[in-house]
């Protein structure tokens, strides 16, 4: 870099020598360096004053405004995050309440259905008991008729067998007497 700068000054000095002879570029003429340096310093001071009094305060204001906007945005984001967290916790609480309510309703429904089922079972059991008692009484009646019929059939059968065996007709009363068990049996 230093070599490049040295080369630039050498070229500028050479051009200045050539310019003084040919009346070329006045900014490269060493005779004009002093006024140019004066105007350079004056321009630098004017630009420094303009920048420090006008441009830089505006840039500072923009930076402050941005900083404030960023702070407001971060505060708003934090507030929205808190609101979101609160809404989420409210939602989770409502969901837990709904689940517990649904569980209670399901338990209540199971208990009600179990009670209805027990009541229906007792009603059906009562109906079956009535039908069973009715059937048992019919069976007993049929059995007693069958037992009485057995006595008559036995009498008729014994009478027919005796008639066949001995060849005489026997009265039904005599057969019944014989078929009746003895008092000790």
pLDDT in tens, 84-104: 999 999 999 999 999 999 999
Q: Which whole number is the average pLDDT over 42-54?
A: 94
Q: What was the pLDDT predicted at 163?
A: 82
Q: Which whole number is the average pLDDT over 153-179?
A: 78
Burial tier of 29 (Cβ tally within 10 Å: 0-12, 13-18, 19+): middle
Q: How far is CA 68 from the centre of its chain?
A: 42
Show the tokens assigned to 121.
């079972």
Give DSSP secondary structure letters for 76-136: HHHHHHHHHHHHHHHHHHHHHHHHHHHHHHHHHHHHHHHHHHHHHHHHHHHHHHHHHHHHH
Q: Of 18 and 86, which is predicted with more confidence?
A: 86
Contact 33, 20 (CB under 8 A): no
Closest CA to 162 of 148, 150, 174, 145: 174
Q: What is the average pLDDT value for the chain, to the nearest integer?
A: 85
Q: Is the pLDDT of residue 24 over 80?
A: no
- Residue 23 DSSP symbol: T
Helix and strand element counts for the chain (H, E)? 4, 0
Q: What was the pLDDT predicted at 149?
A: 77
For residue range 57-77, list pLDDT tens digits in order.
999 999 999 999 999 999 999
Q: Is the pLDDT of residue 138 over 70?
A: yes
Q: What was the pLDDT predicted at 142?
A: 87
Q: Which whole number is the average pLDDT over 119-145?
A: 90
Q: What was the pLDDT predicted at 116?
A: 92
Show the tokens assigned to 138.
């019919």
Q: What was the pLDDT predicted at 23?
A: 67
d(CA 143, CA 135) in angstroms, rounded, equals 12
Predicted TM-score (pTM) of the model is: 0.39
Q: What was the pLDDT predicted at 2?
A: 65
Give DSSP secondary structure letters for 128-167: HHHHHHHHHHHHHHHHHHHHHHHHHHHHHHHHHHHHHHHS
């Amino acid at each position: 870099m230093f070599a490049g700068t040295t080369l630039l000054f050498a070229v500028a000095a050479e051009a200045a020598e050539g310019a003084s002879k040919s009346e070329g570029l006045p900014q490269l003429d060493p005779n004009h360096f002093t006024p140019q340096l004066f105007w350079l310093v004056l321009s630098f001071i004017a630009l420094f004053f303009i920048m420090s009094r006008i441009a830089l305060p505006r840039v500072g204001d923009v930076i402050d405004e941005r900083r404030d906007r960023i702070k407001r945005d971060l505060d708003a984001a934090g507030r929205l995050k808190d609101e979101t967290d609160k809404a989420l916790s409210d939602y989770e609480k409502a969901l837990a309440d709904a689940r517990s309510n649904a569980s209670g309703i399901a338990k209540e429904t199971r208990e009600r259905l179990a009670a209805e089922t027990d009541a229906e079972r007792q009603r059906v059991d009562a109906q079956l008991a009535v039908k069973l008692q009715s059937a048992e009484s019919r069976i007993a009646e049929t059995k007693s008729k069958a037992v009485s019929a057995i006595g008559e059939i036995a009498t008729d059968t014994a009478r027919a067998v005796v008639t066949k065996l001995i060849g005489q007709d026997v009265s039904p009363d005599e057969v019944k007497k014989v078929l009746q068990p003895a008092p000790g049996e």
